Structure 1
Amino acid sequence: MVVPQPRISALGLDVGNRRIGVAGCDGLGLLATGLGVVHRRSFRQDIAALQSWIDQRQAQILVVGIPLLADGSAGSQARQVKSLMRRMRPALKLPVEYVNERLTTVQASWDLHANGINTHGQKHLIDQQAAAVILQIWLDQMWLDQRRAQPFPPPQPERDPSTSDPPSPECL
C-alpha cells in the first residue's frame, strides 16, 4: 500500500550583505531549485520581497544557511544571520530552521560551472544556487530522519508458489 506523502513547500535562503539567494522545492520535498535573489535594500523592503516569495510558493518553512566556523561554532557572520532572522521571523510568520552553509557557495559555483554556466559577473546566480544547496541539505536530512523513524517492515517468510493452494474459483 502506498502511503500518500504530505505536500511540503520550503524556501531556502542564502543570506548575504547585498543579496539573499532564494530556492524552493518540489511538492514532495525531494529536489531544491534556485529561484532568484532578493537585492537587499532596507529591512522593510527585504521583508516585502521575501513575503512575495513566501506567498507565491505557499511556503511553510524557511531554511536558512548559517556559516559556521570549521570547528562548528558560530562566528560573527552566523550571529548576524541569526540576528536578522530573529527580527524577520515575526513579520514573515514562518518557522525557521538553520543549516550549516559552510562551503555551499563553493559547491554552488562548481555546480553551475559543471552545467556550462559562466558565473563571471553574475553573483546572483551563485547566490540562488547556494540557496538551493542549503535547501537540498535540509531536504536530504529530513528524508533521512523520516526513514530512520519508519524502518523497513520486517522480512516476511518466503512462500513457495509450487506448494501454495490454487486460487479459489471466485478469484478466477
Structure 2
Amino acid sequence: MPEGAAASTPRPLPADGTVLAFDYGEKKIGVALGNFITREARPLVILPNPTVEARFEAVAALVREWAPVRFVVGMPVNPDGGEQPSMRLARRFGNQLNGRFGLPVEWVDERYTSRLAQMAGYRPGELDAEAARLILQQYFDQHPL
C-alpha cells in the first residue's frame, strides 16, 4: 500500500458488486469495469482530464451509472520499485475518489500496463482504457476467491 493512501488495512472482498478501475494520467484517465462474480475486467472509457471539476463530474456520472462497490487505482511504480512523481498524482486521485464517493480504494502496481496494451496492438485512443482493464484484471487475479 502506498504511503498516505486512503486504504490502510485490507478489506474483505465482497461476493458481488461492480468495480471501477482507473489508469490515472494528467491528460486522460482510462477506466475499466468488472465485477466480483465474473472476476473479468473490460475496458470502459477514456475520460479527458482537463480540470479537477470536469474529472469528478465524469467519474460521478460513471458512479451513478454503474453503482460500484469499490475502486481500483493503478499505482505507477518505477521498475526498481521506487517512487516517481506520477505516483503522488495517482495517490491523490485515489484519495479524492475515496473522499468524494465514500467507497474503498485499492491500489495495484501498474508497472508496464500501458506498454503491454501497446504491445497487444491497441491504438493510442484505446490504450488508457485497456491499461485500466489490465490493472483491474490484475486486481482480480491477485485476490482469488
What range describes the TM-score normalised by the shorter chain of this pair?
Answer: 0.7 to 0.9
- 2:142 corresponds in structure 1 to 141
Is residue 109 of structure 2 the alignment partner of residue 100 of structure 1?
A: yes
The aligned amino acid for 1:43 is: V
Per-residue CA deviation, residues 78-112 of structure 1 (Å, 9 max, x unaligned), is: 1121123223421122111111111000111223x
TM-score (norm 2): 0.83
Between the aligned partners of 2:125 and 2:101, the Cα distance in structure 1 is 23
1:129 maps onto 2:138 in alignment: no
Counterparts of 1:101 and 1:79, CA distance in 2:
14
**Deviation by residue 1:24-68 (Cα, 9 ceiling, x = unmatched):** 014514210000111012111111101111221111111000110
What secondary structure does 2:131 align onto?
helix
Distance (whole Å) between structure 2 residues aligned to residue 131 and residue 61 of structure 1: 14
How many residues are paired up? Answer: 132
Q: Does the Cα contact within 8 Å between 1:15 and 1:21 map onto a contact in 2?
A: yes
Does structure 1 conserve the Cα–Cα contact (< 8 Å) formed by 2:43 and 2:129?
Answer: yes
Q: For 1:83 and 1:27, locate their aligned partners in 2 and report how far apart those are by CA, in whole Å.
A: 26
In structure 1, give the amino acid aligned to 2:48: H
Distance, in Å, in 1 between the alignment partners of 2:56 and 2:34 is 21
**1: CA distance between counterparts of 2:51 and 2:63?**
18
Q: Max radius of gyration: which structure?
A: 1
Q: Deviations over 1:107-151 (max 9, x none)?
A: 11223x2xxx5x1xxx230000000000000011111xx3xxxxx
Structure 1 stretches of at least 4 aligned residues deviating more than 6 Å after TM superposition: none
- Of all paired residues, the percent bearing the same amino acid is 26
Question: For the residues of structure 2 that align with 1:77 and 1:27, how far apart are their CA atoms?
Answer: 28
Looking at structure 2, the residues matched to 68 and 126 of structure 1 have their Cα atoms a distance apart, in angstroms, of 18
